[in-house]
Structure 1
Amino acid sequence: MPRHESAKKRMRQNEKRQKRNKSQKSRVRTKIKTLRSLDDKEEAEELLNDVKGDLDRLAAKGIIHENKAANRKSKLEKHVDALE
């Protein structure tokens, strides 16, 4: 356990940020799973735009790496394009 007040505060801040980041990542993962399970192309395209925005937002905030966001968007685009 930290002894200094500033270290204690830093620990509290880190815990808050970890919870926030975890929930945001979890929300996006759930949307991705939903998108992959869809069979209707129109619904999938609509959800794809939402997911792409979320991935960009996570990358901009540094929660996930920019390249990881780009790779996921690319794979999801291919998946949606393959739908009928």
Structure 2
Amino acid sequence: MANHKSALKRIRSNEAKRLRNRYQHKTTRNAIRRLKSTENKEEALKSLPEVISMVDKLAKKNIIHDNKAANLKSQLTKYVAAL
């Protein structure tokens, strides 16, 4: 167990950040899954910018790697264009 007040605070803040990151990552993954499962091109075109924005935010906060974000965005754009 931690002995310093600052270490105890760090444990609390790390847990809060971990839960927030997990929530944002899971929400984005679900949005990607919904986009990939849609068959309607208009719907997909409407939700694509929102999903790309979510992916960019994850990359900006280092929840996912920048290259992974770029690959996801490319993959989703290709999918929507092929509809």
Q: TM-score, length-normalised on structure 1?
A: 0.94
Aligned residues: 83
* 1:2 Cα offset (Å): 1.1
Q: Gapped runs of 5+ residues in structure 1?
A: none
Query: Who is 2:7 aligned against?
Result: 7
1:46 deviation in Å?
Answer: 1.0
Counterpart in 2 of 1:64? 64
Counterparts of 2:37 and 2:55 in 1: how far apart (Å)?
18
Unpaired segments ≥5 residues, structure 2: none
CA distances 1:6-51 after superposition (whole Å, capped 9, x unpaired):
1111000000000000000011001001001100011001111100
Alignment of 1:13-52 (within 5 A): 13-52=13-52
Deviation of 1:78 (Å): 1.0
Deviations 1:31-74 (CA, angstroms, capped at 9, x unpaired): 00100110001100111110001111111111111111100000
Q: Which residue matches 1:77?
A: 77
Runs of 4+, deviation exceeding 6 Å: none
AA partner of residue 73 (structure 1): K
